């Protein structure tokens, strides 16, 4: 495993981080229900592989992901991980802007100081811990002053309840505004071979800031793991059924991309996923690869990507081959 400092903090994080969205289940991830024993096995496998960094959020399974982690992190596991969750999205029905309805809940986005503090307290309770290593503003919102949001987060740092702050679903201008009122250690944004434009626009800002760029969606919820995955169908509500990759002509162009990737997997002796992850890691030097894990085998395979050194011409080949399937904006 390789490690990196998160931004300007002293937090030493594995370059591969454990994404816990999928373990929350619900209608978004309905095809595999995990219990505490399964999550414990995932955490123990992560430790064996050197992964020490977990990302979750209150709304992942409407509290289910955090609660599962809280149970599974008992027995001495908590101290082995940097634990990152988020604030701003909640289903308390006590204010905020409507964000979505799902599984019988109305989720609002609220970055007020009151809401941010309550989000942190709720996450501490669900995960049965005294502190959180990072809190990420899940969706940047202009309805409350950034100074108010960051002041609340800085106070929580002083109280020892959180250690660092990050942003997600934001723009470079948001990073600059937030950093007027404190340090932003991490920017977590969607970025992939099929949807690279937002990341490319953001790289100059994080380079200037010194923040770590944490990628989510590098494998596009599985669509870049195998050619037959592109032909799958998904039940109503499943996040994968809402992505553009299931529609023509993009679907056909992804199959053509796999035709380019297939000989490269033989050249490097790796999976399709490894190839895509190795390409992703080459795009920015201070990049953290956030990957969703529900199976130990997926975790093991992901870590193999760290040992792949793609030739420059193969990086370029993949970039060019993906262009016919790329989209400029992607909302998950």
Residue 160's pLDDT band (cuts 50, 70, 90): very high
End-to-end Cα distance, the chain = 29
Give the pLDDT mean for 306-313: 97
Give the pLDDT mean for 283-296: 95
Taking the CA atoms of 317, 299, 82 and 240 in sequence, report the sign of the dihedral they define.
positive
| Distance, CA of 104 to chain centre | 24
Spatial separation of the C-alpha atoms in residues 211 and 179, rounded to whole Å: 10
Residue 331 in any domain: the answer is: no
Residue 207's pLDDT band (cuts 50, 70, 90): very high
For residue 304, pLDDT over 90 is answered with: yes
Residue 74 in any domain: the answer is: yes
Domain that holds residue 21: 3-220+283-308
Residue pair 211/184 in contact by the 8 Å Cβ criterion: yes
Q: Give 87's strand partners.
A: 137
Give, as one character, the DSSP assignment of residue 117.
H
Res 242: pLDDT: 86
Residue 62 in any domain: the answer is: yes
Residue 232 in any domain: the answer is: no
For residue 7, pLDDT over 80 is answered with: yes
For residue 36, pLDDT over 80 is answered with: yes
The set of residues, in sequence order, having a beta carbon less than 8 Å from that of 39 and lying 6+ positions away, is: 23, 68, 69, 71, 72
**Which residues are catalytically annotated?**
60
pLDDT > 90: what percent of the chain? 91
Q: Give the DSSP per-residue string, 180-233.
A: TSS---EEEEE--SSS-HHHHHHHHHHHHHT-EEEEE-TTGGGTTS-GGGGG--
Give the pLDDT mean for 173-199: 97
Res 209: pLDDT: 97
Residue 266 in any domain: the answer is: no
- 60 to 69, 83, 90, 91: CA distances (angstroms): 11, 15, 11, 12
Taking the CA atoms of 240, 200, 139 and 65 in sequence, report the sign of the dihedral they define.
positive
For residue 226, pLDDT over 90 is answered with: yes
Residue 82 in any domain: the answer is: yes
For residue 3, pLDDT over 90 is answered with: yes
CATH number of the domain that residue 83 is part of? 3.20.20.100
Structural domain total, the chain: 1
Residue 277 in any domain: the answer is: no
Closest Cα to residue 120, out of 98, 88, 147, 148?
88
For residue 193, pLDDT over 80 is answered with: yes
- 182 to 4, 124, 141, 153, 213: CA distances (angstroms): 21, 22, 17, 9, 17
Residue pair 21/138 in contact by the 8 Å Cβ criterion: no
Residue 31's pLDDT band (cuts 50, 70, 90): confident
For residue 332, pLDDT over 70 is answered with: no
Helices (H), the chain: 36-49, 64-72, 113-126, 146-158, 172-178, 197-209, 250-268, 272-281, 296-304, 312-322
pLDDT > 70: what percent of the chain? 100
Query: 34-38, 204-208, 235-239 — which is least confidently predicted?
Result: 235-239
Residue 76 in any domain: the answer is: yes
For residue 279, pLDDT over 70 is answered with: yes
For residue 30, pLDDT over 90 is answered with: no
Question: Tens of pLDDT along 106-150?
Answer: 999 999 999 999 999 999 999 999 999 999 999 999 999 999 999
Taking the CA atoms of 141, 144, 145 and 146 in sequence, report the sign of the dihedral they define.
negative
Question: Tens of pLDDT along 65-81?
Answer: 999 999 999 989 999 99
The set of residues, in sequence order, having a beta carbon less than 8 Å from that of 15 and lying 6+ positions away, is: 1, 2, 3, 4, 281, 287, 288, 289, 306
- 55 to 188, 214, 281: CA distances (angstroms): 10, 10, 18
Query: 56-60, 211-215, 328-332 — which is least confidently predicted?
Result: 328-332
Taking all residues of the chain, what is their mean pLDDT, rounded to a whole number?
A: 96
């Amino acid at each position: 495993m390789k490690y990196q400092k998160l931004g300007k903090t002293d937090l030493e994080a594995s370059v591969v981080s454990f994404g816990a969205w999928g373990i929350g289940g619900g209608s978004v991830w309905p095809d595999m229900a995990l219990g505490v024993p399964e999550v414990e096995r995932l955490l123990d496998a992560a430790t064996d592989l050197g992964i020490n960094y977990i990302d979750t959020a209150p709304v992942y399974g409407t509290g289910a992901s955090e609660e599962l982690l809280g149970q599974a992190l008992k027995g001495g596991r908590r101290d082995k991980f940097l634990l990152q969750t988020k604030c701003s999205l909640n289903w308390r029905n006590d204010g905020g802007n409507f964000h979505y309805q799902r599984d019988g809940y109305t989720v609002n986005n609220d970055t007020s100081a009151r809401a941010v503090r309550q989000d942190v307290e709720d996450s501490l309770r669900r995960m049965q811990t005294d502190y959180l290593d990072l809190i990420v503003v899940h969706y940047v919102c202009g309805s409350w002053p950034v100074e108010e949001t960051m002041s609340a987060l800085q106070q929580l740092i002083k109280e020892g309840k959180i250690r660092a702050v990050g942003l997600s679903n934001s723009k470079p201008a948001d990073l600059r505004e937030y950093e007027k009122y404190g340090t932003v250690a991490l920017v977590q944004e969607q970025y992939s071979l099929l949807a690279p434009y937002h990341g490319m626009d953001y790289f100059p800002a994080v380079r200037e800031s010194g923040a770590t760029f944490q990628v989510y969606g590098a494998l596009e919820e599985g669509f870049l793991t195998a050619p037959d995955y592109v032909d799958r169908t998904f039940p109503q509500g499943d996040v994968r059924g809402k992505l553009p990759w299931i529609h023509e002509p993009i679907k056909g162009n992804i199959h053509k991309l796999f035709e380019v990737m297939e000989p490269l997997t033989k050249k490097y002796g790796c999976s399709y996923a490894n190839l895509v992850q190795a390409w992703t890691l080459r795009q920015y030097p201070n990049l953290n690869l956030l990957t969703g894990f529900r199976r130990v085998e997926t975790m093991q395979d992901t870590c193999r990507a760290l040992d792949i050194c793609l030739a420059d011409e193969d990086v370029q080949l993949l970039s060019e081959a993906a262009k016919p399937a790329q989209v400029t904006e992607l909302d998950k």
